[in-house]
Amino acid sequence: FCDYDCVACSEVCPTNALSLLTVEAKKRTKLGVSRFIKDNCIVKIEKTACGACSEGCPTKAVYMIPYEGNLLIPEVDPSLCIGCGYCEYACPMTPYKAIYVDGLPVHGVSRKPRTEKPDQSGIDDFPF
């Protein structure tokens, strides 16, 4: 996945195919957008807690919402998603991930990332 605080690719690209971006500009550059497939999610399939995809989302575009009983399931805010791929990388499901990134043919700009975490009341700790 693409490290949120890194611009090394654009700095070392030998062909200048990548535009040189500051770290702050890169943090809002949309390379893609996450897509969530509930039918592939461990929460739905095995009725067990997860949340791996939301834990490290740098923009908080992936967050957990109430599902069934005490379970929480991911939701994606596409306006915040930059397509870094963390969620896809972290998803434990195989062979089909429950969340993946669709690349964009032309880079876009995301909304300014949240400075506060979404309300996650009811979540004590990471479930595994």
Question: How far is it, in rounded angstroms, from Cα 77 to Cα 56?
Answer: 15
Residue with token string 């700095």 = 11
Question: How far is it, in rounded angstroms, from Cα 75 to Cα 62?
Answer: 6
Residue among 52, 59, 100 nearest 77 (CA): 59
Q: What is the pLDDT along the chain (128 residues), one digit of tens a residue?
A: 888 999 999 899 999 888 888 999 999 999 999 999 999 999 999 999 999 999 999 999 999 999 999 999 999 999 999 999 999 999 999 999 999 999 999 988 998 876 665 555 555 555 55
Q: For the full predicted model, state whether its pTM sits above 0.85.
A: no
| CA contacts within 13 A on the Cβ side of 128 | 11
Question: How far is it, in rounded angstroms, from Cα 12 to Cα 94?
Answer: 33
Judge whether 54 and 34 are in contact, CB under 8 Å: no
Say whether domain 30-109 belongs to CATH 3.90.550.10.
Answer: no
Per-residue pLDDT, 92: 97
Per-residue pLDDT, 95: 95
> Which residue stretches of the chain are H helix?
8-12, 23-26, 42-46, 52-55, 86-90
Per-residue pLDDT, 82: 96
Instruction: Tokens for 77, please give them.
Output: 């805010």
Question: How far is it, in rounded angstroms, from Cα 6 to Cα 100?
Answer: 21
Per-residue pLDDT, 116: 63
Per-residue pLDDT, 50: 97
